[in-house]
Structure 1
């Protein structure tokens, strides 16, 4: 079986190389999310959900800045990689926006799409934080932990919103 898309990057020979690749993946994911969150906020009908998406946009911008600090510390550039997983997760959220759904059902679907994004980000930050610890970058690990904690808190806020909005969606 052949790989349909040849790799354009250098081969990975150690954990440091993998760390850089995974950091670029998270950076790509976050920069894609910066573009997607305003659309999600516009599509939401519950004001509390709109506000939540806007607040998470501000957190995401801070997460991008933290990643840029890590890349600067490493003497590396953040670009050159596209997170395919985030592209797919965002596409699923866009599908929900295009659905002909009553407002509460659309909002419930947007919450579901957003929680999938949060779970992906929690996993990604946990992985790169572990790599940073192993590679002796405690300052990176601290920055990555901050972002991981923010993603977990965002997921918890979405769960709380879902409790109310899902009930409204059930009623149609």
Structure 2
């Protein structure tokens, strides 16, 4: 790791790995969700993750690097937590499970937001204007999904989970 570009590529690879790992559990969370708005939002979230992966892969390849060059341990932990606390946990109330699904999904989303923000800053510092635009699109989409989850939690799921 000698230059900011080296670090930039490393962080893009880490983000690609994070997206790949979160995609499978997002699909599982969608299947487990019972609230129709939550289920639909998670399905859109999975599509957004796929789109982010396409973008990040293309950026990495533009810099003559392998997208699969890194394994994100941070997302590995978040995925394990999501499975443990939203999928494998024994819930007697579907609304409480849905609330847990939202909390676990948002934890993964916030991790992705941090990753996108870091690589955007690195791209901007290097004058990679095209990269900045593409990463900003991923950031905007991810923020939108996060806000949608908050709206669903605050207007439906959390109240239903009160019992």
Measured against the shorter chain, the TM-score band is over 0.9
- Shift in Å at residue 23 of structure 1? 0.4
Match of 2:10 among 1, 6, 21: 21
1:99 to 73, 79, 89: 89
Deviation of residue 98 (structure 1)? 1.1
Between the aligned partners of 1:19 and 1:48, the Cα distance in structure 2 is 36
Matches within 5 A, 1:63-142: 63-96=52-85, 97-101=87-91, 102-142=93-133
Following TM superposition, the consecutive aligned residue runs of length 4 or more in structure 1 with deviations greater than 2 angstroms are: none
Rg larger in 1 or in 2? 1
Aligned residues: 160
The residue aligned with 1:165 is 157
**8 A Cα contact 2:26 2:105, kept in partner:** no
CA deviation profile, 1:43-66 (whole Å, cap 9, x unmatched): 111111111111111111111111
Task: Quote the Cα distance in structure 2 between the aligned partners of 1:159 and 1:119.
Answer: 12
Cα distance, 1:80 vs structure 2: 2.2
Q: State the alpha-carbon separation in 1 of the partners of residues 64 and 70 from structure 2.
A: 17
TM-score by length of 1: 0.90
Unaligned regions of 5+ residues in structure 1, if any? 1-11
RMSD: 0.9
TM-score (norm 2): 0.95
Gaps (5+ residues) in structure 2?
none
* Alignment match, 1:3: none
Bigger shift: 20-29 or 69-78?
69-78
* Deviation (angstroms), 1:118: 1.1
Indicate the structure whose relative CO is greater, using CA pairs within 8 Å and at least 6 residues apart. Answer: 2
SS at match of 2:162: helix
